[in-house]
Amino acid sequence: MKCFAALDIGSTKIACMIGCHEEGSLRVLGKGVAPALGMRKGTIVHIDATVQGIQQAVREAEKAAGVSVDTVIAGISGSHIQSFNSTGIVAIRDKEVVYDDVRRVLEAARAVAIPVDRETIHMLPQEYLINDQGGIRDPLGMSGVRLEAKVHIVTGSTAVAQNIIKCANKAGLHVAEVCLASLASAQSLCHDEKELGVVLIDIGGSTTDIVIFKEGAIIHTAIIPIGGSHITNDIALGLRTPIAEAEKMKCLHGCALTSLIGFDEMVEVPGVGGRRAQALSRRSLADIIEPRLEELILMVGREIDKTHMRHVLSAGIVMTGGSSLVYALPELAEFTLEMPVKRVDASPELSTVLGLLRTRYDREQKKVHQKNTVSDRLTRSVSAWMRDLF
Ligand SMILES: Nc1ncnc2c1ncn2[C@@H]1O[C@H](COP(=O)(O)OP(=O)(O)OP(=O)(O)O)[C@@H](O)[C@H]1O
Ligand SMILES: [Mg+2]
């Protein structure tokens, strides 16, 4: 039985998921979650604590799955991630597009100055144009003289990527590939949503990751350095309660829309350092949460507006990540951005690790189908970023 494993080192938790190929599809065998004690603001600040967290999450997943794993796909996120659109143009050598033309045009699109301390994590083709005729998704075999590629390039700090790989290696794992976490979360979107136009927002512990699709292609990605920890800190400060209690209150009684709560609903606030607990109206708690989330949603709106397509993203917004669970957050976003909003159905905090597993599975399945074909030889012979293309 061939198994696949995924590792998501988030800012609050490390998750591992193991799956296998069964009856033509991916079956999840087990998952494990450990606290991310070596992380601060989405980057690794303590190697040993992170290694221990990885080992704990992997052991738990292995136990549940009944198999052991040695290779993972790992997610990468954080405010060091930058992305932009680029274009490449080449002459078609033999009047008909072959793999080599596609490789050359993508190399041309990639030939933009990237600082030495950064690396390309993904190069995602949006469309190809042949002799100025656009909208082409697969140019192979098409006739013409001039091939143009429009791509979305995601880059990240080499040091951050290396630290992820280093921690996984120290935990006894080989990292087969590194994948942008939000791109993995976007696996929870369906084909139609991506075609119609959709905004995926993954609201995690310290960042909110955005991916925007239109006509099946990624047109924009962004990372906003605000997540659930900021809300927890606001509550702890505002109510003078310990962080752990603020976290509990947020999850149990938090609400993103003050207007939904009656004036007579009361909750208990535990005191710091042995001080007495106090009663508080649930509305006051929402008064702390709502402005922070409204600010975040407005920032998401500004990212959406960068695409100049807000009104044609017909599938609206899909929310995921642990912080999407704040009560009434979809309603607040719907009201603020005037777009339809839905939250993913099950375990939004595991969307990334599940998406990573699917990405790995899809990649392996493609390899099986393409074995010994030209594209296989090509993908084996070129750099990692080319994996996204075939
Ligand atoms: N029921 C809930 N209500 C409100 N917030 C919640 C709930 N459950 C989890 N959260 C919040 O979700 C956040 C963690 O989400 P998630 O697990 O997606 O983050 P992460 O992947 O560790 O972080 P990041 O993606 O930012 O690196 C925490 O801030 C936590 O407080
Ligand atoms: Mg996350």
Residue of 12, 79, 243 to mutate, ligand 1, most atoms within 8 A of C-beta: 12
Q: How far apart are CA 135 and CA 126, in angstroms?
A: 9
Helix (H, G, I), strand (E, B) or coil at 39: strand
The residue with tokens 């030209």 is 374
pLDDT of 118 higher than 60? yes
The CATH class of 228-290 is alpha beta
pLDDT of 374 higher than 50? no
Cβ-defined contacts of 137-143 (< 8 Å, 24+): 137/216, 139/97, 139/101, 139/102, 140/97, 140/98, 140/99, 140/102, 141/96, 141/97, 142/96, 142/97, 143/95, 143/96, 143/97
Q: What integer pLDDT is reported at residue 43 of this predicted model?
A: 83
Ligand 2 center to residue 350 CA distance, Å?
Answer: 8
pLDDT tens for 236-292 read: 999 988 999 999 999 999 999 999 999 899 988 877 777 788 888 999 999 999 999
Residues carrying CATH 3.30.420.40, the chain: 3-79+159-181+350-370, 186-226+291-347, 228-290
Ligand 1 center to residue 323 CA distance, Å?
Answer: 4
Kindly state the tokens that stand for 116. Answer: 């030495």
Q: What integer pLDDT is reported at residue 271 of this predicted model?
A: 76
Ligand 1 center to residue 118 CA distance, Å?
Answer: 28
Ligand 1 in reach of 197 Cβ (< 6 A)? no
3-state helix, strand, coil in the chain (%, to 5): 40, 30, 25
Q: Is the pTM of this model over 0.85?
A: yes
Ligand 1 in reach of 322 Cβ (< 6 A)? yes
pLDDT of 225 higher than 80? yes
Percentage of residues in the chain having pLDDT higher than 70:
94
CATH topology of domain 186-226+291-347: Nucleotidyltransferase; domain 5 (3.30.420)
Q: What integer pLDDT is reported at residue 79 of this predicted model?
A: 87
CATH topology of domain 82-155: Dna Ligase; domain 1 (3.30.1490)
Q: Which residues contact 285 (CB under 8 A, 6 or more apart)?
A: 235, 239, 249, 250, 253, 254, 255, 267
pLDDT tens for 354-371 read: 999 999 999 888 877 665
Q: What is the DSSP track for 173-227?
A: -EEEEEEEHHHHHGGGS-HHHHHH-EEEEEE-SS-EEEEEEETTEEEEEEEES--
Residues carrying CATH 3.30.1490.110, the chain: 82-155
Ligand 1 center to residue 226 CA distance, Å?
Answer: 11
Q: How far apart are CA 261 and CA 264, in angstroms?
A: 9
Quick one: CATH architecture of 3-79+159-181+350-370? Answer: 2-Layer Sandwich (3.30)
